[in-house]
Structure 1
Amino acid sequence: MTHRIAAFGAALLATTALTVTSLSAETLRWARAAEALTQDPHAQNEGPTTTLNHQIYEPLILRNMAGEMEPALATSWEPSADNPNVWVFQIREGVTFHGGETFDASDVVFSLNRAMSENSNFRELLSGVTEVRATGDYVVEIETEGPNPLLPNNLTNIFMMDEGWSVENGAEEVQDYAGGEDTFSARNSNGTGPYVLTSREADVETVLTLNENYWGIGEFPLDVTEIIFTPIQNPATRLAAFLTGEVDFIQDVPVQDLAQVEAADGIGLGTGPQNRNIFFGLNVGADNLERDNVDGANPFADVRVREAMMIAINREAIQQVVMRGQSDPTGAMLPPPVNGWTEELEQYPEFDLDRARALMEEAGYGDGFSIQLDCPNDRYVNDEAICQAAVGMFAQIGITVNLSALPRAQHFPLIANGETDFYMLGWGVPTYDSEYVFNFLYHTRNDGRGSWNGTNFSNAEMDEMIVSLSSETDLEARNATIAELWEMAEAEMIYLPIHHQVLNWGVSDAWSTLVDADDQVKFKYFELN
Structure 2
Amino acid sequence: MPRRLAAALLFALLVVLTPAMAQAFVWARSGDALTLDPHVANEGPTVALVQNIYEGLTERDRTGRLGPLLAVSWRMLLEDPTVWEFKLRGDVTFQDGSRFSADDVVFSYHRAMQPNSGFRDYLASVVAIEKIDDLTVRIRTRGPSPTFIENTPTIFVMSKDWAERHGAVQIPDEATSEANFANAHTNGTGAFVLVSRQPYVRTELKRNDAYWNRGHIPLGIAELTYRPISHANARVAALLAGSVDFLQDVPIQDLPRLHAQSNLTVTSGVENRTVFLGFDVASPAPRGTQAGGRNPFADIRVRRAISIAIDRDQIQRAVMRGEALPSGLIISPLVNGWTSELDTPPPFAPGRARELLAEAGYPEGFSTTVYCPNDRYAYDEETCRALVPMLARVGIRLTVVAQPQAAQSQALRRMPGPGFFLAGWGSPTYDSEQVFSSLYHSRDGQRGFYNATGYSDPQVDALIGRLSSEIDPSQREAIVARLWQKLRGELIYLPLYHQTLSYAMKEAYDIPVDVSNTPKLKLVAAPSR
- Deviation at residue 172 of structure 1 after TM alignment: 0.3
Structure 1 residues 408-447: aligned runs within 5 Å: 408-418=405-415, 419-447=417-445
Of 259, 267, 270 in structure 2, the residue corresponding to residue 270 of structure 1 is 267
| Counterpart check, 1:93 vs 2:84 | no
Normalising by structure 1, we get a TM-score of 0.93
Partner of 1:512: 510
- Deviation at residue 288 of structure 1 after TM alignment: 3.1
Partner of 2:74: 77
1:101-143: per-residue Cα shift (whole Å, max 9, x none)? 1110000000000001111000000000000010001100000
**3-state secondary structure, aligned to 1:374:** strand
Q: Which amino acid aligns with 1:244?
A: A
- Deviation at residue 336 of structure 1 after TM alignment: 0.2
Q: Are residues 178 and 134 of structure 1, via their aligned partners in 2, closer, same or farther at CA, if it must alter by over 3 Å?
A: closer
Of 270, 290, 293 in structure 2, the residue corresponding to residue 293 of structure 1 is 290
Partner of 2:471: 473
Partner of 2:5: none
Quick one: distance in 1 between partners of 2:21 and 2:456? 54
Partner of 1:217: 214
- Deviation at residue 490 of structure 1 after TM alignment: 1.2
Structure 1: gaps (5+ residues): 1-22
Structure 1 residues 163-242: aligned runs within 5 Å: 163-177=160-174, 182-242=179-239
**3-state secondary structure, aligned to 2:342:** helix
Structure 1 residues 366-515: aligned runs within 5 Å: 366-418=363-415, 419-515=417-513
Paired residues, what number? 507
Give the stretch that moved more between structures: 503-512 or 288-297: 288-297
Question: Retained in 2: the 8 A contact 1:175–1:186?
Answer: no
Question: Retained in 1: the 8 A contact 2:441–2:461?
Answer: yes
Quick one: distance in 2 between partners of 1:224 and 1:81? 43
- Deviation at residue 66 of structure 1 after TM alignment: 2.6
**3-state secondary structure, aligned to 1:335:** coil
Q: Which amino acid aligns with 1:462?
A: V
Partner of 1:161: 158
- Deviation at residue 294 of structure 1 after TM alignment: 2.4
Structure 2: gaps (5+ residues): 1-19
1:88-113: per-residue Cα shift (whole Å, max 9, x none)? 00011121111111110000000000
Quick one: distance in 2 between partners of 1:193 and 1:362? 57
Question: Retained in 1: the 8 A contact 2:174–2:180?
Answer: no
Quick one: distance in 2 between partners of 1:486 and 1:196? 42
Partner of 1:30: 27
1:29-67: per-residue Cα shift (whole Å, max 9, x none)? 110001000011100000000011000000000112232
Q: Are residues 459 and 469 of structure 1, via their aligned partners in 2, closer, same or farther at CA, if it must alter by over 3 Å?
A: same
Quick one: distance in 1 between partners of 2:290 and 2:175? 27
Quick one: distance in 1 between partners of 2:510 and 2:54? 23
**3-state secondary structure, aligned to 2:138:** strand
Quick one: distance in 2 between partners of 1:51 and 1:318? 27
- Deviation at residue 290 of structure 1 after TM alignment: 3.8
Question: Retained in 1: the 8 A contact 2:122–2:434?
Answer: yes
Normalising by structure 2, we get a TM-score of 0.93
Question: Retained in 2: the 8 A contact 1:26–1:223?
Answer: no
Structure scoring higher RCO (CA < 8 A, sep ≥ 6) equals: 1
1:125-178: per-residue Cα shift (whole Å, max 9, x none)? 000000001000110000001111111110112100001110111100124357
Quick one: distance in 1 between partners of 2:497 and 2:286? 27
Quick one: distance in 1 between partners of 2:309 and 2:293? 25
Structure 1 residues 59-138: aligned runs within 5 Å: 59-138=56-135
Of 340, 345, 349 in structure 1, the residue corresponding to residue 342 of structure 2 is 345
1:426-451: per-residue Cα shift (whole Å, max 9, x none)? 10111000001100110011111111
Q: Are residues 175 and 66 of structure 1, via their aligned partners in 2, closer, same or farther at CA, if it must alter by over 3 Å?
A: farther
Question: Retained in 1: the 8 A contact 2:357–2:363?
Answer: yes
Quick one: distance in 1 between partners of 2:172 and 2:261? 44
**3-state secondary structure, aligned to 1:344:** coil
Partner of 2:15: none
Q: Which amino acid aligns with 1:69?
A: L
1:255-298: per-residue Cα shift (whole Å, max 9, x none)? 00100000001111111111001011011122332432224421
Question: Retained in 2: the 8 A contact 1:224–1:526?
Answer: yes
Of 319, 322, 326 in structure 2, the residue corresponding to residue 329 of structure 1 is 326
- Deviation at residue 252 of structure 1 after TM alignment: 1.2
Quick one: distance in 1 between partners of 2:380 and 2:287? 24
- Deviation at residue 181 of structure 1 after TM alignment: 7.0
Question: Retained in 2: the 8 A contact 1:192–1:214?
Answer: yes
Quick one: distance in 2 between partners of 1:350 and 1:336? 20
- Deviation at residue 512 of structure 1 after TM alignment: 2.5
Quick one: distance in 1 between partners of 2:287 and 2:403? 19
Quick one: distance in 1 between partners of 2:179 and 2:418? 23
| Counterpart check, 1:250 vs 2:247 | yes
- Deviation at residue 525 of structure 1 after TM alignment: 1.1
Q: Are residues 177 and 280 of structure 1, via their aligned partners in 2, closer, same or farther at CA, if it must alter by over 3 Å?
A: farther
Q: What CA RMSD, in Å, does the superposition of the two structures yield over aligned residues?
A: 1.6
Quick one: distance in 2 between partners of 1:372 and 1:182? 33
Q: Are residues 179 and 166 of structure 1, via their aligned partners in 2, closer, same or farther at CA, if it must alter by over 3 Å?
A: closer
Question: Retained in 2: the 8 A contact 1:339–1:433?
Answer: yes
Q: Which amino acid aligns with 1:474?
A: D
Q: Are residues 405 and 178 of structure 1, via their aligned partners in 2, closer, same or farther at CA, if it must alter by over 3 Å?
A: farther
Q: Which amino acid aligns with 1:310?
A: S
- Would you identify which runs of 4 or more consecutive aligned residues in structure 1 move more than 6 Å? 23-26, 178-181
Quick one: distance in 1 between partners of 2:286 and 2:117? 28
Quick one: distance in 2 between partners of 1:366 and 1:121? 41
Q: Are residues 412 and 171 of structure 1, via their aligned partners in 2, closer, same or farther at CA, if it must alter by over 3 Å?
A: same
Q: Are residues 122 and 325 of structure 1, via their aligned partners in 2, closer, same or farther at CA, if it must alter by over 3 Å?
A: same
Question: Retained in 1: the 8 A contact 2:267–2:511?
Answer: no
Partner of 2:7: none
**3-state secondary structure, aligned to 2:52:** helix
Quick one: distance in 2 between partners of 1:157 and 1:329? 28
Partner of 1:3: none
Quick one: distance in 1 between partners of 2:258 and 2:387? 29
Q: Which amino acid aligns with 1:348?
A: P
Percent sequence identity is 43
| Counterpart check, 1:319 vs 2:316 | yes
Give the stretch that moved more between structures: 431-440 or 180-189: 180-189
- Deviation at residue 399 of structure 1 after TM alignment: 0.9
